[in-house]
Amino acid sequence: MDYPQENISKLLRDLNEIGIALSAEKDHDRLLELILVKAMQLTNADGGTLYTCTDDQRLKFEILHNLSLHVHKGGTSNEAISFYPIALHDSDGKPNTHMVAASAVINGKTFNIPDAYASEEFDFSGTRNFDKKMGYRSISFLTVPMTNHEHEIIGVLQLINAMEKDSNTVIPFSSLDQQLVESLASQAAVTITNKTLIDAQRNLFDSFIQLIANAVDEKSPYTAGHCRRVPVITNMLADAVNKIDVGPLKDFSMTTDEKYELEVAAWLHDCGKITTPEYVVDKGTKLETIFDRIHLVDARFEILKRDMVIESLKSRLRKLGDVGELDRALKNDASLQEAFKKLAKEREDIRTYNIGGEVLADEDFMRIEEIASRTYNHNNETVNLLTDEEKQNLQISRGTLSVREREIINNHVAVTIKMLESLPYPKHLAKVPEYAGGHHEKMDGTGYPNQLTKEQMSLQARMIAIADVFEALTAADRPYKKAMPLSQSLKILGQMKLDNHVDADLFDIFVNEKVYLDYAYQYLDKSQIDEIDFNTIPGHVPFN
């Protein structure tokens, strides 16, 4: 097709605008579609096919368009192309030069064919079969290899039947058509390559952050999965906030890039735990360090029993000489048996306190003091039954962590922030440290590590905070508690709303939009999904 001189400048402007549009398109399928459609528009072609080169030396059909036949396959059509890929070499390794698309790759050159039916250079039998089946005639062909800036051919752009605008008859592709499409193909190849590299870098980055999260989870069998599940809940909540059309957050929304930034932060929210000692992360009882020291305490109780038996024997040996009589005497020693019962009760109490399941009352503290004051003889020294450190651990009021251990755990957030702030983020990920670093802050400013208030936190950071709490409440892999049913988890979360510890607006969306239930069906045991009486959920306010 020949263009008047006055139209050439318009075509060049169109080509430039196409280049800009290609650079702006982020979706791979839409990008390929745009390349083919724009090439057809530039040359007024009736049809076209876009192929991409595969790693196994084939040309894969990506998109097929034909305006006259109303055919649109591949790309964004959601209709697969059934044609087999075109091999660049035969089974003997010889180049496939009889197929025009393959030859364009092998020779690295454009083929402009005025009439395929008259061509003796290439095999168009497949084209003729297609034409016969569809009642069509494929005449003019323009087959252009797509070569990127690294001189690699990544695909082929093939146009069919240039149409004369006035008569709508098929004409050959002009030399200008060829130059325009070659220019477009070159731009398109560079764009596709750049996008492929960007996608590869993003995949590497995503895999790396998931590797870090998995490494944190793998440190402890008791938190395995936490770093993987928090992003799931965060994404579900973000989607719900994006869709909500009532309440204070109805005008809030996030772009695709902003949601990705939030997801990255959720994956990395606990990366600082990679520096936390395993014995603290895994601590299932109050006396546990490298191992549960309750077994040492058990041994000391046995020593106490031994000392009591020895003391009793000493007083009886003077009177009794018969061994059988001695055994009967010990069994009948009421004071000794009573002392054994007292020891057994004290031992059981210590085991109960070691679990850390209940909040200690004043009498519990006194009971621990009483038992700890018992003494026994060890290497001719009088030793207390419990060391001061063991006593202090058993007197932990809530949970299993001491103040020092709690500080170690809390420090993981400061380490997380420090680690994440050291990375050179692109602009669209710049807020990752802030989002990830706020998951233990509370709305009233009593959280850690920076005692931020609600007003000082982004909504995204508050989303991760709720996700983190809910995952911990419902998790079935913690050593210090059983997995909670949904009803109990929501009651605790609701009380945290009333106490101004979690964001009230996000809690309302979390409950009313049933984010908790969507998550439960996918990730919780069926036994945890119980009936919920919302009248018993603190702070629950249904949407009108």
Q: Which of 400, 432, 462 is the last residue of a domain?
A: 400
Q: Are residues 272 and 377 in the same domain?
A: no
Q: Are residues 396 and 417 in the same domain?
A: no
Q: Which residue has the higher pLDDT, 442 or 284?
A: 442
Could you give phi then psi for residue 19, rounded to 5 degrees? -60, -40
Residue 126: both structure tokens together: 């497949």
Distance CA 219, CA 105 (A): 50
Domain count, the chain: 3
% of the chain with per-residue pLDDT over 90: 47
H helical segments located in 318-402: 323-331, 334-355, 362-372, 388-394
Q: Are residues 115 and 17 in the same domain?
A: yes
Residue 1's pLDDT band (boundaries 50, 70, 90)?
very low
Question: What is the rounded average pLDDT of the residues 154-174?
Answer: 93
Q: Which of 400, 434, 458 is the last residue of a domain?
A: 400
Q: What is the CATH number of the domain that holds 149?
A: 3.30.450.40
Q: Within 13 Å, how many C-alpha atoms sit on residue 112's CB side?
A: 15
Distance CA 33, CA 37 (A): 6
Question: Is 287 part of a structural domain of the chain?
Answer: no
Q: What is the pLDDT of residues 58-108, one digit of tens each?
A: 999 999 999 999 999 998 898 999 889 999 998 889 999 999 999 999 999
Question: Is 543 part of a structural domain of the chain?
Answer: no
Q: Are residues 341 and 454 in the same domain?
A: no
Q: Name the residue with tokens 């209709």.
A: 79
Is-contact 428 261, C-beta < 8 A? yes
Residue 182: both structure tokens together: 């070659």
Question: Is 284 part of a structural domain of the chain?
Answer: no
Q: Which of 166, 197, 228 is the last residue of a domain?
A: 197
What is the rounded average pLDDT for all residues in the chain?
Answer: 84
- pLDDT of residue 440 exceeding 60, the answer is yes
Q: Among residues 463, 349, 351, 356, which one has the least CA distance to residue 406? A: 356
Residue range of the domain that includes 441: 219-276+412-536
Q: Within 13 Å, how many C-alpha atoms sit on residue 138's CB side?
A: 26
Is-contact 172 112, C-beta < 8 A? yes
Q: Which residue has the higher pLDDT, 109 or 392?
A: 109
Q: Among residues 435, 451, 431, which one has the least CA distance to residue 443? A: 451
Residue 270: both structure tokens together: 């606990």
> Residue 330: its pLDDT value, please?
65
Q: Name the residue with tokens 């103040």.
A: 403
- pLDDT of residue 308 exceeding 80, the answer is no
Residue 324's pLDDT band (boundaries 50, 70, 90)?
low
Q: What is the DSSP track for 56-117? A: TSEEEEEEEEETTTTEEEEGGG-----SPPEESB-TTS-B-TTSHHHHHHHHT--EEES-GG
Q: What is the pLDDT of residues 514-537, one digit of tens each?
A: 999 999 999 999 999 999 999 999
Q: Among residues 498, 489, 447, which one has the least CA distance to residue 471? A: 489
